Amino acid sequence: MSTSEILYVERANYLATIADLKSQGYEMCVDVTAVDYLTHMGRQLPDGIVPQRYEVVVMLLSLAKRSRVRIRVQVSEDDPTIETLFFLYPGCEAMEREVYDLMGIKFVNHPDLTRILMPQDWEGHPLRKDYSVGAVPVQFKSVNGAG
């Protein structure tokens, strides 16, 4: 039977917590993503965890233990930064770039924190709740000369 756990971690303890979990056998970083809670700032969190606008969510996997752990870290709107996991899990490089590109959270010490989905000169971060809807111009091509 596999197990799953959720850990709420302070941003200051993020890297140390992830390093500790890796030493405990969590050999794979399955996902790094983020959530914008702009419209849900009053959500319930465990005691001692202060809700912030953004939350970085990391999923680690231990194949040997048949166990997953989800790490949730609050990231403030005033300082949307967090340490990179690249030096612990090199495979998360592209996942962190996607979070940066679409949500605007910067991963400190990332080796190549550049856009990965949007053009390099794109302004803004399209998955933020306050990003203007309809800001992406749509181009249509005619199909079989029908338009």
User: How many Cβ atoms from other residues are within 10 Å of residue 127's Cβ?
Assistant: 15
The model carries a pTM of 0.87
Q: How far apart are CA 100 and CA 80, in angstroms?
A: 10
Largest CA distance in the chain: 62
Q: Which amino acid is at 99?
A: V
Q: How far apart are CA 56 and CA 102, in angstroms?
A: 13
Q: How far apart are CA 104 and CA 10, in angstroms?
A: 19
pLDDT tens, 36-50? 999 998 999 999 999
Which domains does the chain show, CATH number per domain?
3-108 (3.30.460.80)
Q: What pLDDT shows up at residue 146? A: 56
More confident residue, 145 or 50: 50
Residue 106 above 90 pLDDT?
Answer: yes
pLDDT tens, 8-40? 999 999 999 999 999 999 999 999 999 999 999
* Percent share of the chain, pLDDT over 70: 90
Strands 67-75 and 54-62: antiparallel
Q: What pLDDT shows up at residue 143? A: 64
Q: What pLDDT shows up at residue 3? A: 81
Q: How far apart are CA 43 and CA 144, in angstroms?
A: 51
